[in-house]
Chains A and B, each alone.
Chain A
Amino acid sequence: QSVLTQVPSVSGAPGQGVTISCTGTTSNIGAGYGVQWYQQLPGTAPKVLIYGATNRPSGVSDRFSGSIFGTSASLAITGLQADDEADYYCQSYDNSLGAWVFGGGTKLTVL
């Protein structure tokens, strides 16, 4: 059971958009510790897509965007491409655990 809750899977057709949600509590996302999103392609290490809930590192496509509201955050992906098929994880800090925490991950399938 992960501290941050994500739906296990989402899917979309090429060119469409999807949103992946991450639900936390007042001890993590709601406490203002920010949210990061990572993309993990099969057999590779995770790569940061979004940091501080809404910021993209240089080199990350603007098809990826993040938002935050209260104790939840979302990752939106527009114009789906086949190579977007991956696992996506949210991450924050939890002050009741004193630990950096991850969501359980969402597998994106591009139909």
Chain B
Amino acid sequence: QVRLQESGPGLVKPSGTLSLTCTVSGGSIGNNIYYWGWIRQPPGKGLEWVGSVYFSGSTYYNPSLKSRLTIFVDRSKNQFSLKLTSVTAADTSVYYCARHSTTVSSNFDSWGQGTLVTVSS
């Protein structure tokens, strides 16, 4: 059974860069039938898809975040990572990493436990 675990700083200063890593265990990030994605949830609010990456490095970004977002994969470590630049308080959220299949009708079938990132000085 695949497991995902987020890691990274819990506090980021405004205008700084938010960096998170998701470590995948129990399965290979090189499995060609899956995308590896990030979803975030502001405190008390709903879910927002942030972006996804394929093992080859192909990326798919939420248009509202695309200009600030980079997602990349490290196959040697079975990890994928997110970098979000120029953050503001609006980026404060629980960030989840999740797996979904390579069809547009796919569901996010495995999730990490989530990590809270607060943007504050």
Q: Please give the residue numbers on chain A whose beta carbons come within 8 Å of chain B beta carbons, in ascending order.
A: 2, 32-34, 36, 38, 44-48, 51-52, 57, 89, 91-93, 95, 97-105
Contacts and interface: CB of A to CB of B under 8 A. Distances in A.
A36 B107 contact: yes
Contact of A46 (B37, B63, B106, B108): B108
B107 A51 contact: yes
A45 B47 contact: no
Contacts of B105: 32-34, 52, 92-93
A51 to B, nearest CB: 4
A99 B46 contact: no
B114 A104 contact: no
Contacts of A93: 104-106
B109 A57 contact: yes
Contacts, number: 61
A2 B8 CA distance: 28
20 contacts: A2-B46, A36-B108, A38-B47, A44-B113, A45-B114, A46-B108, A52-B105, A52-B107, A57-B109, A89-B47, A91-B47, A91-B107, A91-B108, A93-B106, A95-B104, A99-B49, A100-B37, A100-B52, A102-B39, A105-B46
Given A45-B96, A45-B113, A101 B49 contact: yes
A97 B46 contact: no
Contacts of B49: 99-102
Contacts of A105: 46-47
A46 B47 contact: yes
A45 B46 contact: no
A97 B47 CA distance: 16
Interface in B36-50: 37, 39, 46-49
A103 B108 contact: no
Contacts of A51: 107, 109
A40 B105 CA distance: 20
